[in-house]
Amino acid sequence: MTIHAVEFYSGIGGLHKALDTSSVSGSVIRAYDWDQSACQVYDANYGKGIVKKADISKLTATELAELDAKLWLLSPSCQPYTVLNPEAKGATDPRAKSFIHLMHNVLPELVSMKRHPSHLLVENVAGFETSTTRQDLLQILHELGYSICELLLTPLQFGIPNSRLRYYLLAKSDRRPFPLVPHCQKVCRHIPGRGVDWENTRMQPEDEDSSIREIREYIDDDLSEDDIHLYSVPDRVLEKWGRLFDIILPSSCRSCCFTRGYTKMVERSGSVLQMNETLDTTVVFDTFLKRQQVGDPSAIRILDDLKLRYFTPDELLRLFCFEPVGSRGNERQGFVWPSAVSIKTRYKLIGNSVNVRIVKELIEYLFEE
């Protein structure tokens, strides 16, 4: 029997893609997002009529009861909880309102109507686990008879060279148990029965961790001259902020977390690629900085040899497992960007999205008996 799902905060449909690629027989029958571009991309990739442009804080139990969906997939706004935001206000942030409405008002009403979802998956930033919203959520789900499994997972532990530590909550109605959950652990650091806890190996030499693929498998080494120009890091950015970039090589087995600010912000928004692997980044940067300090107007040209560029949106899609590793040109499984969606918006939408592989594994675990 096909499980019907509703995807809240659907963005570019990472949770939809994860359900489609999982072994669970399910289909997203309705998605909600209020962002015009996100809905345009969603329509183009999953078919028209599924996503509805709507404010989730206005949804009612009656409307959702009609859908009678057994699976809810939710990835609410991260900004109220993100550690990168010093002004993050948690539950009092207006952006947290719609999720609180769903959990406080809508879900209990659906339970009383006996039209509630039997399974839920919530995704948010690491940091959510210390918020009062999480405490409220646990209490509500507990009172409504759901069993819960919480996890903190990063793509690195799935062999994907990208760090993106995220909080996940899985819930099942009727207090059905989750298999293999260790008793003493509050938040699991791996999916029970699959893999082991993640340990940060960032301080170890990269070649010691052969379980992680190289970045080169995810990137296009045959970009056209136009694209190289389009994705190269502008001189003015390098001159002012160059030393703050996280620069990685195609042979690297890691990259920083890519955020919605990628290419707009420098620090902690994602890594940039040094396509020339023969040069030592530090040596070249030191030479550049010395020449810059003595006022050499052509100092910036020293960095040309590094061939620094941003990841393209399609490369990020591969890293986020929307597309298979190594898929190129015609082999692409066909994630579509409507031409009206600018490159800047594509970066914003991907930066907001999820790692599809992790969610796929979680959906399979959620339905494991």
- Binding-site ranges for ligand SAM (CB under 6 A): 9-15, 32-35, 38, 55-57, 75, 77-78, 98, 352-354
What is the nearest approach in angstroms of ligand SAM to the Cβ of residue 228? Answer: 28
15 vs 238, which CB is nearer to ligand SAM? 15
| Strand boundaries in 212-348, DSSP class E | 247-248, 272-274, 308-309
Nearest Cα residue to 38 out of 21, 26, 54: 54
Nearest Cα residue to 81 out of 154, 39, 130: 130
Nearest Cα residue to 82 out of 163, 190, 165, 158: 165
Q: Catalytic residue at 78? A: yes
Q: How far apart are CA 66 and CA 53, in angstroms?
A: 18
On the CB side of 163, how many CA atoms lie within 13 Å of its CA?
A: 16
What is the nearest approach in angstroms of ligand SAM to the Cβ of residue 148? Answer: 20
b/e map of 204-237 (b: 16 or more CB within 10 Å)? Answer: eebeeeeebeebeebbeeebeeeeeeebbbeeeb
Q: Which amino acid is at 312?
A: T
What is the nearest approach in angstroms of ligand SAM to the Cβ of residue 128? Answer: 11
What is the nearest approach in angstroms of ligand SAM to the Cβ of residue 57? Answer: 5
For 240, residues 6+ apart whose C-beta sits below 8 A from its C-beta are: none
Cβ pair 95, 140 in contact under 8 A? no
Token pair belonging to 126 = 């690491």
355 exposure class (CB count in 10 Å sphere: 0-12, 13-18, 19+): buried
Catalytic residue among 39, 78, 253, 256, which?
A: 78
39 vs 249, which CB is nearer to ligand SAM? 39
33 vs 361, which CB is nearer to ligand SAM? 33
What is the nearest approach in angstroms of ligand SAM to the Cβ of residue 76? Answer: 6
9 vs 231, which CB is nearer to ligand SAM? 9
166-172 and 147-153 beta bridge pairing = antiparallel
26-33 and 3-8 beta bridge pairing = parallel
What is the nearest approach in angstroms of ligand SAM to the Cβ of residue 35? Answer: 4
Residues with a catalytic annotation lie at 78
